[in-house]
Amino acid sequence: MSLTITWYGHATFGIDVDGAKIIVDPFLKPNNPVAPVTAQELLADFILVTHGHGDHVADLVTLAKQTGAQVICNFEIATWLGRHGVDKAHGMNTGGSYSFPFGRVKLTIAHHSSVLPDGTYAGNPYGFLIHCNDGHDLYIAGDTALTYDMKLIGDFGGVDVAILPIGDNYTMGPDEAVIAAQWVKAKHVIPCHYNTFPVIEVDAQAFAKKLMREAGIDCTVLAVGESISF
List of residues contacting Ni ion (CB under 5 A): 53, 143
d(CA 13, CA 28): 10
From CA 105, how far away is CA 158, in angstroms rounded?
15
Cβ-based nearer residue to Ni ion, 53 or 185: 53
Build a one-symbol-per-residue string for 55-74: x at contacts with Mn ion by CB under 5 A, - elsewhere: x-------------------
Q: Do β-strands 13-17 and 3-7 pair in parallel, antiparallel, or remain unpaired?
A: antiparallel
Amino acid residing at 129: L
Cβ proximity to Mn ion, 113 vs 227, nearer residue: 113
The smaller minimum CB distance to Mn ion, of residues 14 and 52, is found at: 52
- 215 three-state secondary structure: helix
- The amino acid occupying position 205 is Q
Contacting Mn ion within 126-145 (CB under 5 A): 143
CA distances, 137 to each of 63, 112, 128 (Å): 26, 23, 10
State in angstroms the smallest separation of the CB of 56 from Ni ion: 6
Provide φ and ψ at 207, rounded to 5°: -60, -45
**Minimum distance from residue 77 beta carbon to Ni ion (Å):** 13
How many Cα atoms occupy the beta-carbon half-sphere of 66 within 13 Å? 14
Strand partners, 191: 164
Residues contacting 21, CB < 8 A, separation 6+? 14, 15, 43, 44, 45, 46
Instruction: Give me the least distance between CB of 155 and Mn ion, in Å please.
Output: 27
Q: Which stretch binds Mn ion (CB under 5 A): 49-57, 65-73, 172-180, 211-219?
A: 49-57
**CB 214 → Mn ion: shortest distance, Å?**
26
Q: Choose the one of Ni ion, Mn ion, none that binds residue 168, judging by a C-beta under 5 to 8 angstroms depending on kind.
A: none
Q: How far is the CB of 170 from Mn ion (least distance, A)?
A: 6
Contact between 25 and Mn ion by CB under 5 A: the answer reads no
Binders of Mn ion: how many residues, by CB under 5 A? Answer: 2
- Nearer to Ni ion by Cβ, of 127 and 174: the residue is 127
Binding positions for Mn ion, rule: CB under 5 A? 55, 143
